[in-house]
Chain A
Amino acid sequence: MRFIKNIQNSIENNSNYNALCINNTHFTYKDFEIEVKKIRYAIVNTIEASEKLIGLVTNDDIQTYASIIALWLEGKAYVPVNPDTPLDRNYHIFELTKTKHVIDSTKESIYKDYKVINSSALQDLYPDLNPKDFSGDNLAYILFTSGTTGVPKGVPITFNNVEALVDAIDAESEFNLNNKDRCLQMFELTFDFSVVTYLFPLLAGSCMYTIPKGTMKYFYIFKLIKEKKLTVLTMVPSIINYLRPYFPEINEPSVRYCSFGGGALHSDIAKEWSDCLPNCKIFNYYGPTEFTVYSGFYPYQKETHTKAYNGIIAIGTPQKNTLYLIVNENNEEVPIGETGELCLGGPQITPGYWENEERNKQSFFIRNEHGKKIRYYKTGDLCIKDKDHDFLYVGRADFQVKIRGYRVELSEIEFHAKTKSEKKINMVALDVYNELGNAELGLAIESDAFDTNDIFEYMKTKMPSYMIPMHVRFIKEFPHSINGKIDRKELKKHFDIN
């Protein structure tokens, strides 16, 4: 694996440079190397060679990042679980992946049913960082996203997938990190966007700055940009929605790149944000977890590149070796200018959802192109290809929404809410928008008002906090559209949250 060899080179060649800054403490690449070697020693000595899927508790510390690299050197995958997510859900994930071993830097691990490597209490060092020889078909990680039936959906990504991502970004001459760069790493490691925010800095010898738990993310990010003079930002658009009331106070010349992804970027706010960062190139990235983070981008420039559809900045063109195809409901290509579902083909495509044949039949298809069989992933995003061959984002085709960058299936929330409810009544989860333009979750209940405390307590044991509805409305009778479906648009009018 070329990219793993390159991580090794970067760690060894940048010993004196900083690799990480966590809660104001810096760690050099030398420090990082030592942690990787300790964890690798423990992996080699306690985990059988046949065990490939290893649990990782995503604490905000150097050991957690070092664990990913130590596992990769051994050709193993990390299965990340967030310590703030209900234990029930995390156990469920480990059951699905048949994980036996968990790496956890927490002093007293709560994963009692597993063989735990306590990564913060290790002594012995593995002699080197030479990557083992292994197949590129091995998995590098599995991430779980919200699923429609209450069961989280696993997306496995292979080393070949990650290699193809690195290869595509390396081919992009507009984006080059170096060992002087200071990069924002604002993402939880269970969120696929984090892969680019730790991997690219590590490959370039840059330093990444994390966000401590318990801080107000958007204000802490601004504090880092200002006080640490960050040069590279990668974020979800909702962050700048929060900061928007304060844009007149922001002028940060240190930032040279700002990449957005994980949600629609609106043109008016992009222009205003661009004014805050006078020396910065802005990239509007697109890509689903199933296609290894990024599949392409649009290079936004407030004067020359402002292409948008319904106020949402274009997603541009596919990156190296990636194919974009827009299809109708029969998976046939639609003409230029027509709306259809965006499908992605190429070496970054996941081998398929984890043990979910039914879902795989729906989400992937094979198409013959010039005598070759190309496998495509159906993103569920509606797009248009315009006459310049740029791709424009239109909206979602289904009931999936983005809450602070996280993908949420509204039906999963409904599933858990209804499970606990004694009364068999209709409940509909909705995305409603606050005055900053960010989506919040609402729960509409077809009933007279009653105490929902039990339902909410139950949901909190089943889903991460970003999936818990913040607004509840009781509606005696749900509005229906002409064809008899619940009229979600009409229901949303009951949520005046501003």
Chain B
Amino acid sequence: MNREDILTKVTNAFSSVLEHTNFELTNETTAEDVDGWESITHMMIITEIEKTFNIKFKLMDLMNMDSVGDLLNTIESELLIN
């Protein structure tokens, strides 16, 4: 799966949790930039992404995840391990 495919699936996960598509995700996007992306929904998004890609994030990865770019990197490396 290339980074673009991952981004598409991640975008779908965001819109299904946040119930809107009023955003464009790039490497630099953070919670500040997306309406409704905060503590509770973040957890729901993480769960949704774990289901979509059939992966399980580690706490160490999640604690250093500050942007969508970090998120994509982590998904890529998790997929490599699998």
Contacts and interface: CB of A to CB of B under 8 A. Distances in A.
Nearest to A403: B40
B1 interface: no
Contacts of B32: 214
Nearest to B31: A214
Interface string A353-381: 00000000000000000000000000000
Given A242-B39, A249-B59, A219 B30 contact: no
Nearest to B33: A214
Interface stretch (A72-80, A159-167, A220-228): A220-228
B60 A215 contact: no
Interface in B18-69: 30-32, 38-43, 58-60, 62-66
Contact of A242 (B43, B60, B66): B43
Contacts of A218: 39
Contacts of A216: 31, 39, 42, 62, 65
A171 interface: no
Question: Per DSSP, are chain B's interface residues mostly helix, strand or loop, or mixed?
Answer: helix
Contacts, number: 40
A222 B62 CA distance: 10
B72 to A, nearest CB: 17
Interface stretch (A2-10, A113-121, A434-442): A434-442
A216 B43 CA distance: 9
B40 A440 contact: yes
A226 B59 CA distance: 11
B64 A223 contact: yes
A222 B43 CA distance: 15
Interface string A183-216: 0000000000000000000000000000000111
B59 A250 contact: yes
Given A214-B30, A216-B31, A246 B59 contact: yes
B63 A219 contact: yes
A316 to B, nearest CB: 29
Given A216-B42, A242-B43, A440-B40, A226 B63 contact: yes
A470 to B, nearest CB: 7
A436 B39 CA distance: 13
B61 to A, nearest CB: 10
B59 A438 contact: no
Contacts of A440: 40
Contacts of B65: 216, 219
A226 B58 CA distance: 14
Contacts of B42: 216
A246 B41 CA distance: 17
Given A243-B59, A470-B40, 12 more contacts: A216-B31, A216-B39, A216-B62, A217-B39, A219-B59, A219-B65, A222-B63, A223-B64, A226-B63, A246-B58, A404-B39, A465-B38
17 contacts: A215-B31, A215-B66, A216-B39, A216-B42, A216-B62, A218-B39, A219-B63, A222-B63, A223-B63, A223-B64, A242-B43, A243-B59, A249-B58, A249-B59, A440-B40, A465-B38, A470-B40
